[in-house]
A = this chain, B = another copy of it.
Amino acid sequence: MQVEFKRPSFCIKYLSSLTSDEWINLALSNPIDMLIDHANCERKAAGVAIQLMFRYPSEPDLAEVLSPIAREELEHFEKILYFLKNLGKSLKALKPPPYGTELSRIIRKDEPNRMLDSFLVAGLIEARSHERLSLLALNSELESFRRLYESLLESEARHFGIYWKLAQKKFSKAKTLDRLKELSKIESKILSQTFSMPRVHS
């Protein structure tokens, strides 16, 4: 029998495709690996924000918004860590899906394109995380998991908004939007390639 999954009423509109039922099935069947992978994603997202602060140390008003993002990602990382501990589980390295590497590969190397692409790719990852955490918040079997994901997902949407605003402050709206559409198509294409492991971005 085909299970009908609940879908979030709000998704960031720039995603070019919605997540498949196959992903939801795989994710729900592997709740612990999904949590560990998501903890790793929060840590990575903090690293990305700090890396951007390093790369553009004199960019006005950049550190002011990226440093709080990094702190919030780390807070979430710790939240998942303690949730796992309460379940008697701990962090571990998980083979990552090709998503992050493939996305970094499409960031153009020349400035200021590199900056634009970096903001938009970081934003798209937050947007996709928001969609997928929403799916987990709606469909996870245990209430404690649903509540945990519910508590994490709002900030993913907010972070998308911050990266989007950063891009728009520096580049024209038309240029930002055109490039976001291009990148979003590539993001969906990457996800359409099969990856059989349960990961947030598989």
Q: Residues of A at under 8 Å CB distance from B?
A: 40, 43, 46-47, 50-51, 53-54, 57-58, 60, 63-64, 67-68, 70-71, 74-75, 77-78, 81, 90-93
Chosen A-B contacts, 23 in total, with CB atoms closer than 8 Å, are: A43-B50, A43-B54, A46-B70, A47-B50, A50-B50, A50-B74, A58-B90, A58-B91, A58-B92, A58-B93, A60-B90, A63-B78, A63-B81, A63-B91, A64-B78, A64-B81, A67-B74, A68-B74, A68-B78, A70-B74, A71-B71, A71-B74, A71-B75
Q: Distance (Å) between the CB of A38 and the closest chain B CB?
A: 14
Residue contact A77 to B81, C-beta cutoff 8 Å? no
Choose one: B64, B67, B91; the contact of A57 (CB below 8 Å): B91
Bound complex: CA A10 to CA B53 (Å):
34
Given contacts A57-B93, A63-B77, A71-B71, 14 further A-B contacts (CB under 8 A): A40-B57, A43-B63, A43-B67, A46-B50, A46-B70, A57-B91, A58-B90, A58-B91, A58-B92, A63-B81, A67-B81, A68-B74, A68-B78, A74-B74
Point out the residues of chain B lying under 8 angstroms from A77, CB to CB. 63, 67
Point out the residues of chain B lying under 8 angstroms from A75, CB to CB. 71
Point out the residues of chain B lying under 8 angstroms from A60, CB to CB. 90
Point out the residues of chain B lying under 8 angstroms from A91, CB to CB. 57-58, 63
Task: Name the CB-closest residue of B to A57.
Answer: B93
A47-B58 contact given A63-B81, A71-B74, CB 8 Å threshold:
no
Q: Which of A47, A60, A67 has the most CB of B within 10 A?
A: A67
Q: Distance (Å) between the CB of A1 and the closest chain B CB?
A: 39
5 closest A-B pairs (Cβ-Cβ)?
A57-B93, A58-B92, A67-B74, A71-B71, A71-B74
Q: Distance (Å) between the CB of A69 and the closest chain B CB?
A: 10
Point out the residues of chain B lying under 8 angstroms from A64, CB to CB. 78, 81
Bound complex: CA A26 to CA B68 (Å):
32
Bound complex: CA A164 to CA B191 (Å):
43
